[in-house]
Amino acid sequence: MRNPAHIMITGASSGIGEALALDYAGPGIRLSLTGRDAGRLASVADACRAKGALVTADVLNVADRAAMADWLAARDDEAPIDLAIANAGISAGSGGAVESAEQSREIFAVNLDGVLNSIHPLIPAMTARGRGQIALMASLASFRGLPGAASYCGSKAAVRVYGEALRLDLAPQGVGVTVICPGFVVSRITAKNRFPMPFLMQAAPAARLIRQRLTRNPARIAFPWPTYVVSWLLGVLPPGLVDGVLMRAPRKG
């Protein structure tokens, strides 16, 4: 969608979500933002208002299905949501061991259930209007399971494949779906990494790239291209060829 007037962004209190909110903010733009840190979210909202945007910002956990449904219905009633960006996500290290069941379930609850909770309340309204766009935040880590990040990779792989299929289902009804697969972007998630991150990007240029490409309603936005190529290859090569290499790769602490 080239000129969305009402943009909804989850996970807008930091990282790519914050950068997207600031990039879209301007006169005549309505932003509906969620985040889990009240202080940071308020700061983002104030910065967006200073740029002329009309902003609603509420502290919500995307894993709360009922709360998200109520909030999204209220925001869409105020003004039809043109673009929904399901961006909220979390990650955690395993300390060199296997992830606990609790940690795995929490990551899937936010990264996968949170995405579903952020878009499904809007799909009936968008299809009824015959317009709208949905953007799902996956990751280049969705192409191959990596050591120390089983739940993160698995949840993002589910988001990517789900979004690719949903695009085919919603396209005939006038609703676009794009899956976003960033590489390493400066955020609270990557701040926990204690290993070199190739082609690490700042959040602002990453947000600009995403916004520009979303105007063309592509099936996938993946960047930066060198990391994308490597990630894609790791996913298509036989596991026997890459397992040995990945076993020696650094793990999230």
Active site residues: 152
Which structure tokens are listed for 101? Answer: 């069941």
Nearest one of 155, 39, 40 to 104, comparing CA atoms: 155
- Give residue 179's identity as a one-letter amino acid code: V
Tell me how far CA of residue 164 lies from CA of 91, 111, 119, in angstroms.
22, 16, 14
Cα–Cα distance measured from residue 85 to residue 83, given in angstroms and rounded to the nearest whole number: 6
Nearest Cα neighbor of 32 from 57, 12, 50 is 57
Nearest by Cα to 192 from 226, 243, 149: 149
**Whole-number Cα distances in Å, 180 to 30, 129, 147:** 22, 24, 22
Q: What is the CA radius of gyration of the chain?
A: 18
* 8 Å CB contact between 55 and 49: yes
Sheet holding 54-59, edge to edge: 54-59, 30-35, 6-9, 83-86, 133-137, 176-182, 220-223
Cα–Cα distances in angstroms (integers) from residue 93 to residues 81, 139, 163, 194, in the given order: 35, 16, 26, 10
Q: Per residue, what are the HEC states of 20-54? A: HHHHHCCCCCEEEEEECCHHHHHHHHHHHHHCCCE
